[in-house]
């Protein structure tokens, strides 16, 4: 029997919906029939479930992961005159929110093996104006939060966890988002827990801080029409909350499927010249939002781009996160980070390639991707 395998997308949202279709349809229709489209019991119930899952006392839902970071910075009093340590190898939401509150992002390089903040470099970067650190649990891989919290506590710094790509990941026996002062989550559709639109949340163990977050997300009001701060409109709508509450029940299963896919990649691509595989950090549990390899030497993107183009020609999708680190972006040129100032992040921009990764990726699809990668790289290195 011949097994025909269709194109292999980098990500596929359509495979998941049939698993939960009946539950989602019923829940959405119930919200529509209720007339309670903003806030209310549906959102409150999701907040309670998500806080319980993460392992915090409280959750405050909002309309995006970007807003979660912005609101967290605002509620913690980060603003003009403050500096916030951030990685340059991440999505710009991590740093544009620092700029949006009037603070200055201080870029610290990442580790080549984990893609996460180099904590030794973090300690060296702390200065008199440093107020907070934003560790990004990139690609689903947790930062060493024990070491980071020790550094933060020694210098009386705030820690805002960017968990956008790591819902369900653990450091030790604690889930990310429960260790720092605030955990910030994105429910963008491609995340491990994705909505059918935008959404986000903040997790905290401080009731007063949660109240401030709620106030800021609701136009700066605790009591309707009485405003004590310049807030924003950042509410999670009830339809998204209903969908997320259903999907949350399957999150651990989907994360386990991602882990199995990562393990197959590790076995299938092991020892291949020109390819460096991602390594899970000891003490952490990754949820593999992405499976990101490093291709070539980092002197340039030629081998990575050749691999990507030839995979695309065979119908195998990939993605590049991120081709230009944030400290080299035009928007941050005034901060004065020159070429070579953060060499690991700059090299990664030339090397990284994210392979197909989603829970429903079929073994046959993955085997096709692995076989194509081996063929392309073997041929490329033989002709180099």
- Chain position carrying tokens 């009731």: 207
Q: What is the pLDDT of residue 3?
A: 39
Q: Is 252-382 assigned to CATH 3.20.20.70?
A: no
Q: Return all residues near 60 (Cβ < 8 A) that are at least 6 apart.
A: 47, 71, 201, 202, 203, 204, 210, 213, 214, 217
- What value does the mean pLDDT of the chain take? 96
Instruction: Using the structure block, give the residue that is written with the tokens 């910030």.
Output: 184
90-136, pLDDT tens digit by residue? 999 999 999 999 999 999 999 999 999 999 999 999 999 999 999 99
Sequence ranges of the domains in the chain: 17-248, 252-382
Q: Which CATH number fits domain 17-248: 2.60.40.1930, 3.40.50.20, 3.40.50.2300, 3.40.640.10?
A: 3.40.640.10
Placement of tokens 């499976």 in the chain? 291
Asked whether residue 4 carries a pLDDT value surpassing 70, the answer given is: no
Determine the distance from the C-alpha atom of residue 4 to the mean position of all C-alpha atoms in its chain, rounded to a whole number: 34
* Model pTM score: 0.97
Nearest to 145 by CA among 115, 104, 117, 185: 117
Give the pLDDT band (50/70/90) at residue 384: low
Residue (of 145, 138, 27, 124) closest to 87 by Cα position: 138
Which of 5-14, 299-308, 319-328 has the highest mean predicted lDDT (pLDDT)? 319-328
- Looking at residue 64, its pLDDT comes to 98
* Residue 117, pLDDT score: 98
Q: What is the pLDDT of residue 298?
A: 73
């Amino acid at each position: 029997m011949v097994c025909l395998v269709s194109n292999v997308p980098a990500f596929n949202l359509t495979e998941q919906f049939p698993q939960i279709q009946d539950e989602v349809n019923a829940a959405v229709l119930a919200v529509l029939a209720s007339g309670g489209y903003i806030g209310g019991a549906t959102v409150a119930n999701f907040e309670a479930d998500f806080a319980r899952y993460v392992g915090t006392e409280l959750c405050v839902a909002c309309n995006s992961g970007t807003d979660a970071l912005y609101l967290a910075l605002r509620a913690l009093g980060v603003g003009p005159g403050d500096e916030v340590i951030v990685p340059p190898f991440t999505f710009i939401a991590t740093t544009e929110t620092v700029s949006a509150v009037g603070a200055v992002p201080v870029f610290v390089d990442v580790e080549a093996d984990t893609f996460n903040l180099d904590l030794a470099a973090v300690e060296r970067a702390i200065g008199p104006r440093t107020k907070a650190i934003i560790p990004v649990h990139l690609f689903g891989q947790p930062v060493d939060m024990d070491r980071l919290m020790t550094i933060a506590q020694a210098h009386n710094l705030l820690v805002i966890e960017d968990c956008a790509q790591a819902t369900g990941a653990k450091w030790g026996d604690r889930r990310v988002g429960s260790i720092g002062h605030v955990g910030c989550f994105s429910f963008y559709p491609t995340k491990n827990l994705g909505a059918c639109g935008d959404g986000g949340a903040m997790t905290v163990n401080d009731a007063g801080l949660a109240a401030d977050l709620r106030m800021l997300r609701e136009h700066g009001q605790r009591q309707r029409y009485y405003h004590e701060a310049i807030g924003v409109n950042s509410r999670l709508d009830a339809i998204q909350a209903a969908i997320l509450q259903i999907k949350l029940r399957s999150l651990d299963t989907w994360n386990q499927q991602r882990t199995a896919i990562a393990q197959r990649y590790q076995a299938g691509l092991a020892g291949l010249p020109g390819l460096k595989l991602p390594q899970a950090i000891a003490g952490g549990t990754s949820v593999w939002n992405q499976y990101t390899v490093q291709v070539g030497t980092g002197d340039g993107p030629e081998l990575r781009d050749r691999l990507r183009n030839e995979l695309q020609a065979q119908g195998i999708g990939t993605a590049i996160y991120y081709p230009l680190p944030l400290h080299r972006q035009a928007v941050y040129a005034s901060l004065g980070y020159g070429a070579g100032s953060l060499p690991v992040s700059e090299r990664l921009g030339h090397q990284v390639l994210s392979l197909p990764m989603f829970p429903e990726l079929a073994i046959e699809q993955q085997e096709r991707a692995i076989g194509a990668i081996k063929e392309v790289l073997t041929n490329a290195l033989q002709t180099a």
